[in-house]
A and B are shown apart, each in its own frame.
Chain A
Amino acid sequence: EDQVTQSPEALRLQEGESSSLNCSYTVSGLRGLFWYRQDPGKGPEFLFTLYSAGEEKEKERLKATLTKKESFLHITAPKPEDSATYLCAVFSGSARQLTFGSGTQLTVLP
């Protein structure tokens, strides 16, 4: 059974204070690791897909990286509008479905 663990559960940062969110996973045959952003009461918004260890992707202040056991979402100089819950999910060949972690709730204070 695929498992995804995200840490920390909640993170409070000052505006401009860079940090990283962690996503650890256990899957049989990883086909893709996905990062989403979710605002309260809204649908998850797609951010990145990573397919193989060593891959990195960037978008504005966000950078996602992937190893064989975990992924990191680095947030550089965050702004209050980056406040949201960040979800990590994996798709494996065995499960044939997305398995989501419980998310990291990020709050960026002005």
Chain B
Amino acid sequence: DSGVTQTPKHLITATGQRVTLRCSPRSGDLSVYWYQQSLDQGLQFLIHYYNGEERAKGNILERFSAQQFPDLHSELNLSSLELGDSALYFCASSEKRGAPSSYNEQFFGPGTRLTVL
């Protein structure tokens, strides 16, 4: 158990809908990262938040957005869903207060499996 929690575990929805995925980082971690993993694309970095502020963006679609709240949990919002958005979505956390380093090891949550029908 990495200490990172994600809800829900599974999500089934229809095209055009909007969903919100939630992530709680390990206790004390300030950074949250979001990744998408599909069969044909592998594990792709989406976005990184550090202590409430956006720090880096990867190949994140404009239909997707994220935020990190004062209690450090994060949400990934996916809108206007398409069939191709079906994937596993992982969040990871790192960087404890007093030990900041963007290249610390990241600890991954169990993921949310999104199915768009």
Contacts and interface: CB of A to CB of B under 8 A. Distances in A.
B64 interface: no
B78 to A, nearest CB: 18
Interface residues of A, number: 22
Q: How large is the interface on B (under 10, 10 to 19, 20 to 34, 35 or more residues)?
A: 20 to 34
A42 B111 contact: yes
Interface stretch (B14-22, B68-76, B101-109): B101-109
B42 A100 contact: yes
A59 interface: no
A98 B110 contact: no
Nearest to A96: B56
A16 interface: no
Interface string B64-105: 000000000000000000000000101010000000001101
Nearest to A32: B103
Nearest to B44: A100
- What does DSSP make chain A's interface, helix, strand, loop or mixed? strand
Contacts of B33: 98
B51 to A, nearest CB: 16
Contact of B106 (A41, A98, A103): A98
Which residue among B44, B55, B103 has the maximum number of chain A CB atoms within 10 Å of its CB? B103
A97 B33 CA distance: 9
A12 B27 CA distance: 38
A44 B35 CA distance: 11
